[in-house]
Structure 1
Amino acid sequence: MSSSGEAQALSPLGTDLKCDGYDGIFLIVSSLLFVLYLMLHAKKNLIRLCRGASYVVVSYYALLWLVTLLNLAWSFLQAWQCSPGKEVAWNLLSLFTASGMLCLEISLVAFLLKDNYMNGMEALAQSFLASGITVFVDTLLKALYVFGFGVPLFNRNVGSAQTIKWSLWIVHKLLLAAAYGFILFIQFSKWREKLPPRPAFYNYVAVMFLFSVITLLACGLAGIGAGLGNWLYDFTVLCYHSFYLPFLYVTFLADFFQEEDFLLDNAYYSEMKDAGFFDAEWE
């Protein structure tokens, strides 16, 4: 009897597991607010994109919309991870959502490193090639472990019982932290000129490096059975799905749209100045 009770407690479908609560409500509210924000600015942004934006920006904006909707669905359907018969659907939704967000994360760095705001199809192909290969391999490995070996990568209610799960996440977060750390290292090396002269880029990399280190620490603590590790990991998941997409939008696309406004205002001012609208101010 005791062994069956322990098995139920460790099972992702155990009745005592909490799959909803204030964190789920916060996920839904934050995701929904960002979707509403994108909808409010969609018409204005589409007009600016149609005015002559690069293929990179157009593609990235479309990808952001797709991942945002996936993340919204993931936030609304949190109860699936504890519902019998919904394991496959939850794993598929989580896999596509995680892959989409990782694609955004890697593509953003690739775009900014190349500084290809106004390049054409060649820049788009080069930027998506590296991120596409990386995301494909990452998705393939995750699908293999989840559907092939039954590792509950996307179930946050298994605690420290699944050492394979935490080992995989440790490797995953370690690679991300190493990538962001390497970019920060280049900033203080002789290859600094190869980095884009954008302060927002360095702020983004620094924030993501710190976040990756914290997530790596959480996975390590959870893997050795520390209760703090499970809580910290849940908190990082909550922050990532709630704030990463808005943070990414502010770092990349919002700057682009603001630059478009600035250039447009300068163009209007030049036309009005050439037409003599400001001559009276000097008389």
Structure 2
Amino acid sequence: MEIPTDRGSEPLLPIPVSTTSNSTLDHGNSTPTAYSWLFECHGFWYKLFLIVPSLLFVLYLAFRARKSLSKLSNGRSYIIVAYYGTLWIVTLLNFAWCMFQAWECTSGKELAWNILSLSTTSGMLFLEVSLLAFLYQGNHVGSVEALARTFIVSGIFVGLDLILKAIYLFGFGVPLFILSDDSKHRTKWNLWVVHRLLITAAYGFILFMYHSSHREKLPARPAFYRYVVIMSSLNVLALFACGIAGNGAGFGYWLYGATVVCYHAFYLPFLYEHFLADFFQEDDLHLENVYYSEMKDAGFFDTDWE
């Protein structure tokens, strides 16, 4: 049986989208072939940009696992231990999400795709929100109580988000995780606008604190500031894309797809580099020198000379 191909609008490459929210592969066979897995449903380049970075990051974590576990066993940071374990779980979920992209367009795989997408995005959102909670607590984040506060706040927010998405997915049949230019489902774009607006507002408030008299309450590391700036910019782009996609603009679908690719391909390595990599340095003295240099560059010791 001939496999129909996507005929979605492709204003730019390499982020094609489906023209409908339904499956676009062979409806007579619920199992994608090797060809359809690789070339159908958004195309080869879309999958390549997703799979390669996520695979490399899994391999990197596996290569560093022994040294990382040794460092964790000798450390006293409950937050780092919990965060490292959560990162591993979410990384594997994200890799599975990237590998099984063909499920998005395969008849009979809608439930599996929705569950996988819901689990993966909720896990990544948990990491993202917990980092925001970490930043809001400033330097008072070393105790078990601080870890509990961070995870409770993050868990409540992500739990509410998960319940709302599940209601939309399984209660109202809104295809939240299908990238499509089908104008019938404007409700999903309204939900994504609200979702992105909340996250953008949180990053914006941290940026405001960095440029106000309350800057001392935040962790004194420029790397954290760079993280907030980049994530804030990505969320602003995603918010803009959701807004114009909800009005039927073809560029909005392409831009939203581009932000999805960037988020799933690069967010986890980006998070590791900015929050966990320094902890796993073998030389603790080197780590202390890095922190001191970054604080000095940020101007936290200028008052010592006045």
TM-score of the superposed pair, with normalisation by structure 1: 0.86
Shifted more, 25-34 versus 86-95: the winner is: 25-34
Q: CA 1:89 to 1:236, structure 2 compared with 1: closer, same or farther past 3 Å?
A: same
Instruction: Specify the alignment match of 1:261 in structure 2.
Output: 283
Deviation of 1:193 after TM superposition, in Å, equals: 2.0
Shifted more, 110-119 versus 191-200: the winner is: 110-119
CA distance in 1, matches of 2:103, 2:174: 16
Instruction: Specify the alignment match of 2:293 in structure 1.
Output: none
Instruction: Specify the alignment match of 2:223 in structure 1.
Output: 200
Instruction: Specify the alignment match of 1:146 in structure 2.
Output: 169
Q: Which runs of 5+ in 2 are unaligned?
A: 1-17, 27-39, 289-306
Deviation of 1:192 after TM superposition, in Å, equals: 2.0
CA distance in 1, matches of 2:209, 2:139: 20
Letter in 2 for 1:14: T
Instruction: Specify the alignment match of 2:192 in structure 1.
Output: 169
Shifted more, 150-159 versus 36-45: the winner is: 150-159
Deviation of 1:265 after TM superposition, in Å, equals: 8.9
Instruction: Specify the alignment match of 1:272 in structure 2.
Output: none
Equivalent residue in structure 2 for 1:214, among 237, 240, 243? 237
Equivalent residue in structure 2 for 1:243, among 266, 270, 277? 266
Equivalent residue in structure 2 for 1:96, among 113, 119, 129? 119
- 1:34-91 deviations in whole A, cap 9, x for unaligned? 0001011111111000012311100000000000000000000001011111101100
Q: CA 1:133 to 1:232, structure 2 compared with 1: closer, same or farther past 3 Å?
A: same
Instruction: Specify the alignment match of 1:76 in structure 2.
Output: 99
Secondary structure, counterpart of 2:62 in structure 1: helix
1:114-133 alignment, distance < 5 Å? 114-115=137-138, 119-133=142-156
More helix as a share of residues: 1
CA distance in 2, matches of 1:255, 1:13: 44
Question: Which one has a bigger Cα radius of gyration?
Answer: 1
RMSD (Å), alpha carbons? 2.1
CA distance in 1, matches of 2:184, 2:41: 17
1:16-31 alignment, distance < 5 Å? 18-31=41-54
Deviation of 1:129 after TM superposition, in Å, equals: 1.1
Secondary structure, counterpart of 1:101 in structure 2: helix
CA contact (8 A) 1:23 1:238 kept: yes
Letter in 2 for 1:261: D
Deviation of 1:263 after TM superposition, in Å, equals: 3.2
Deviation of 1:178 after TM superposition, in Å, equals: 0.8
Secondary structure, counterpart of 1:150 in structure 2: coil
Identical amino acids, percent of aligned pairs: 57
TM-score of the superposed pair, with normalisation by structure 2: 0.79
Letter in 1 for 2:126: C
Secondary structure, counterpart of 2:283 in structure 1: helix
Deviation of 1:18 after TM superposition, in Å, equals: 2.9
Shifted more, 191-200 versus 63-72: the winner is: 191-200
How many equivalent pairs are there? 258
What stretches of structure 1 move > 4 A for 4+ residues in a row?
115-118
Instruction: Specify the alignment match of 1:275 in structure 2.
Output: none
Instruction: Specify the alignment match of 1:51 in structure 2.
Output: 74
Letter in 2 for 1:250: E
CA contact (8 A) 1:20 1:79 kept: no
CA distance in 2, matches of 1:219, 1:60: 30
